[in-house]
Structure 1
Amino acid sequence: MHNLIWDFDGTLFDTYPTMVTAFAKALAQNGIDEIEIDAEQIYQQLRVHSLAAALQRFSAEFKLSITELSASYHKWEQLEIKLAKPMPHSHEVLKLVTSEGGENELETHRDQQSIELLTTAKMISEFSGVVTSQQGFARKPSPAGILYLLQHSKLQRENTAMIGDRKLDILAGQRAGLQTILFDKDYLITDDGHPDVIIRDLSELKPLLAGH
């Protein structure tokens, strides 16, 4: 493969610690005692499922308004996300793709924050195309954002792979006709959508890139 279409949260950047902190603070703000807040359970809901699933589960469990919990979470996340760091080896793999004549693309549910974090980390220049929530494409597992990037950057499907850390990334890539790579660093994804490759560390991408 020459080209990679990247997910952001949990793939390019290790954003889950900041998301878990924000979620715990949102629960506390809504009157939940610290002793009742299980960070590992929050992490698993976010990582394996989604933010929407986490909001639904914990608002029901603690009998909270899902609207108020969501508002509190997003307020805290705007502050916490600034502390997120790139995943180990992410920058060197981005550079390897471009040095081999390939292209990196980004397809994320996150908004402009993803661009700001990539810019701060001096990684944004490695990308040829970007799709964020602000473009209004249907969310993954819809392939809409991926299909746009394929057309925008004139990428050949047979030379392009989608990489992400959840089943919905794999399904989106498959529906766009791409090879798929699941990044499951902590062995949490059991229903994985049958990706072509499963990796535990981004450095495992190096031998997969054509010409390396």
Structure 2
Amino acid sequence: MKLTHLFWDFDGTLYDSYPMMRDAMVSALAQLHIATDDSPDEVLKLLKVSVYHAACHYASVSDITADAIVQTFQTYHQAVNEFTPYDGLAGCLGALHQAGIHHYLYTHRGKRAIDQLKKDGLYHYFSDAVTKEDGFPDKPSPDALLCLMKRNRIEPNDAAMIGDRGIDISSGHHAGMRGILFDPGGYYQGINAEMSVCSMDELCKKILSM
């Protein structure tokens, strides 16, 4: 069945922001004197679950609380001035938009995500957005998606949630829509998504061929 409405996650989906998040976590651990033998890739895998998941892991092997780790992480992460979009993002958004497909942003990140899209000349492709400031429960809760669907009169059968984590797919499923896993790093196996892709080019081609 053809898709006409796509809901996009920001971190790890629209933008390759996880390397910067990894570096911020490594810096936070160093500042807090939390010793770890984890490789950069292992730190990244923890962050791909969630920042709080990673913080809880490092809290369990130290005398520092998870909240303190998150706070220190945020200090470093907020110093990052901009993020890098995935290769082919602009072309993918444009081609899908030209085909009559509407885009929506759903992210746990704040309005900085919208600012980045505007800076890169991409936000005009998006019809609506939900960010951290809107106060919805975190994924996998479907509340934000249900609000966007109601606000824009969208039927769930016409929509899909695109994200790089299981919670993105689950939030889409809980809202009655399909899930598309964007996994260029091959971190997730066995995620129950209706479609899995590893690049923007593959994503665009698969959606346009439906």
TM value normalised by structure 1: 0.92
Matches of 1:118 and 1:167, distance apart in 2: 24
- Residue equivalent to 2:40: 39
Mapping of residues 99-114 of structure 1, within 5 Å: 99-114=98-113
Q: CA deviation at 1:37?
A: 5.5
Matches within 5 A, 1:68-147: 68-80=68-80, 82-147=81-146
Looking at structure 2, the residues matched to 91 and 199 of structure 1 have their Cα atoms a distance apart, in angstroms, of 17
Whether the 8 Å contact between 1:100 and 1:211 is mirrored in structure 2 is no
User: C-alpha displacement at 1:62, in angstroms?
Assistant: 2.9
What is aligned with 1:20?
Answer: 22
Q: Distance in 1 between matches of 2:146 and 2:29?
A: 37
Shift of 1:190: 2.4
**Alpha-carbon displacement from aligned partner over 1:95-122 (angstroms, at most 9, x marks no partner):** 1222112210011011111111111111
- State the distance in 2 between where 1:65 and 1:52 align: 11
User: Does the CA-based 8 Å contact 1:24-1:37 persist in structure 2?
Assistant: no
1:6 aligns with 2:5: no
Residues 1:201 and 1:211: Cα distance change in structure 2 (over 3 Å): closer
Contact 2:107–2:132 (CA under 8 A) maintained in structure 1: yes
Q: CA deviation at 1:210?
A: 4.5
Provide the C-alpha distance between the structure 1 equivalents of 2:131 and 2:165, rounded to a whole number of angstroms.
17
Q: TM-score, normalised by structure 2?
A: 0.93
Letter of the aligned partner of 2:64 in structure 1? L
Per the TM alignment, residue 191 of structure 1 is displaced from its structure 2 partner at its CA by 4.3
Most deviating of 12-21 and 55-64: 55-64
Cα drift, residue 25 of structure 1: 0.8
Amino acid at match of 1:17: P
The amino acid of 1:173's aligned partner reads G
C-alpha deviations, 1:65-108, integer Å up to 9, x for none? 3232111101100012x232001111111112221122100110
User: 1:38-64, CA deviations, whole angstroms, 9 ceiling, x for partnerless residues?
Assistant: 3222100011x1111100001212332
Which shifted more, 151-160 or 85-94?
A: 151-160
Q: CA RMSD in A?
A: 1.7
Structure 2 residue runs without a partner (length 5+): none
Check the 8 A contact 2:164/2:181 in 1, yes or no.
Answer: yes
Q: CA deviation at 1:199?
A: 0.6
- Contact 2:82/2:116 (8 A) holds in 1: no
Task: Give, in whole Å, the separation in 2 of the partners of 1:114 and 1:137.
Answer: 16
SS in structure 1 of the partner of residue 90 of structure 2: helix
User: Which of the two has greater helix per residue?
Assistant: 1
- For the residues of structure 2 that align with 1:74 and 1:36, how far apart are their CA atoms? 22
1:131 counterpart letter in structure 2: V
Q: Do the aligned residues in 1 keep the contact of 2:103 with 2:125 (CA within 8 Å)?
A: yes
- 5+ residue gaps, structure 1, are none
